[in-house]
Structures are given as structure tokens and as C-alpha cells.
Amino acid sequence: MAAPCRLISRLAVVSGGGSGIGRAVCQRFASEGASVVVVDCNEEAANKTLELLPHDRGQKHVSLGMDVSLRKNVEQLINSVQTQYFQPPSICVSAAGITQDEFLLKMEEEDFDKVIQVNLKGTFLLTQAVSKAIVSAGISKGSLITVGSIVGKVGNIGQFNYTASKAGVQGLTRTAAKELSRYGIRCNCILPGFIASPMTENIPEKVMSKITPFILMGRMGKPAEVADVCAFLASDDSLYITGVSIEVAGGLFIG
Ligand code: NAP
């Protein structure tokens, strides 16, 4: 079956696009016809993603190395996108994220702050900048997708900072949906479970073997399986969906 082409003429910004889930999202969006702005703090990784993107539908992709947790960078990003493309992005996926795991009793304040700064504030800055650009351009359609985590709902030992950041992402997405629906902008959050990516590659085998029995699908997910859901949320196939969180977790912790 031919891949769908639901994103022709759309412009998408994807943070964390240099790796794992973000890279898979860039690939999926490009294969569906979107022009993609690949953003990552690792410039080399962002450039590598750029090389992987198909452009057989006349799209123009670009990559950019930048830290999404700094307002100045995010504002410059959106200005430069508008200058290059003569339009704001109408799709945004905030997938940049980090972990700094430690038990609550041992966690340093700076490790708490760093994770909140990237995962929560970075999502706020990008979501705000893209929505402002869409509203001032008078575009009547936008899809903003944030990346939370299943552990933001249920908690996870050793991830006091990360779970707080991801619960926050879910909350801000619902609020964004309430405030932005009047402008035709939909905002949804995806909650991945355990997805095989550089972020999870150091989880010890003995820990994964304890988690796997709680995953109905009996395995970790693939970044492309998360990208499938992002493409659905970005496309007109989900025009009546906003303010929701979608678990992409293979049935983890449902019972
Ligand atoms: P990943 O492979 O580590 O990719 C994250 C990317 O974001 C990396 O390239 C990283 O660069 C980049 N990044 C980190 N801080 C940044 C910043 N301040 N500005 C711009 N880019 C930054 O992780 P992933 O598994 O694809 O995760 C993607 C998203 O899904 C994250 O938000 C993560 O929390 C979430 N998630 C993942 C899982 C999972 O099981 N993998 C589960 C639930 C949620 P560096 O490598 O240089 O840090």
C-alpha cells in the first residue's frame, strides 16, 4: 500500500529532530509531503536527519542546531523560518527532551532545574512562538504536538524531575488547546511508553525485563510507531481532535 500524502504544502518544525522519535517524525512528515525544519541542540545530528529526508514532492527542508530552552534562540528560529519560507510553520512537534535520573532523596537542584528547563520550558517556548506566528499570519489551521510520557501519568522511580516535566507538558497542552481553538489551532500531547531510542538504550536489561511483562504488546515501541501517530495528529485526518493525550505505549500499565 502506498504511503499516505497528507502533509503536502505544509511546513513543520520538529525539535529533537536529530535523534530517536524526533528524527522518525521528520522522516514521516517529509514522506507525507511536508517541508521540515529539523531542530536539535546537536547540529551534526540535525544535519544527518536532513540528509535522510525525501524531497521528491518539491519540499525544501532545513536543519538547525539550537537549544530550545532559550527564548532568544526560539524567537530567532521562527523569524528565520518565516524569512526563508514566507510563512510560519503550521505544524510543530516539541520532541526535544532529556533525562537526568536520580532518586528524590539524592537529586541535586540543578538536575531538577535542567530537566524542567529543556522538557517543560522548551516546550512552552516553542509552542508559544509557533502559535503567535500562526495567529499573526492569520493562518486558519495549525497542529501543535507535544511529547509527554506515560511516566508523567504514573510516576517512575528515579525520575522525579522527568515525570514532573512530562506531567507539566500534558497540562500546558490542554490549556493551549483551550486558548487556541478559536484560532483554528489544535494542540495534542503524545505519551510514549518505552521506545527504543538513544534515550532508553542505557536502561539495564534487568530493569527492562521487569517492565516488559506490563507491556501488552510484549516489546518496546519503535520511534516510527510514535511518528505514525504524530502524522495522524498533524494531518486533516484528526481535524476534530484537540486537547487530548494519546498513549503510544503498547498497552503499558493499562490494568
Ligand atoms: P533522544 O533520542 O535522546 O532524542 C532527543 C533529542 O533532543 C536529542 O537529539 C537531544 O540532543 C535533543 N535535545 C536535548 N536537549 C535539547 C535542547 N535543549 N534543545 C534542542 N534539542 C535538544 O530521545 P527520544 O527517545 O527520541 O525522545 C524524544 C522525546 O520523547 C523526548 O521528549 C522524550 O522525553 C520523549 N519520550 C521518550 C520515550 C522513550 O522511551 N524513548 C518515552 C517517553 C517520552 P542530545 O542527544 O545532544 O541531548
Ligand 1 centroid to Cα of residue 182, in Å, is: 31
Domain 11-248 has CATH 3.30.70.141: no
Ligand 1 centroid to Cα of residue 16, in Å, is: 6
Ligand 1 centroid to Cα of residue 19, in Å, is: 7
Q: How confident is the model at residue 1 (pLDDT cuts 50, 70, 90)?
A: low
- Ligand 1 pocket test target in 48, 69, 92, 98 with most atoms within 8 Å of CB: 98
Average pLDDT over residues 65-86: 97
Q: How confident is the model at residue 253 (pLDDT cuts 50, 70, 90)?
A: confident
Residues with CB under 6 A from ligand 1: 15-16, 18-22, 40-42, 45, 67-69, 95-98, 118, 122, 147, 149, 192, 194-195, 197-200
The string of pLDDT tens digits covering residues 131-149 is 999 999 999 899 999 999 9
| pLDDT computed for residue 8 by the predictor | 97
Q: How confident is the model at residue 3 (pLDDT cuts 50, 70, 90)?
A: confident
Backbone CA torsion sign across 42, 44, 50, 51: negative
The string of pLDDT tens digits covering residues 171-226 is 999 999 999 999 999 999 999 999 999 999 999 999 999 999 999 999 999 999 99
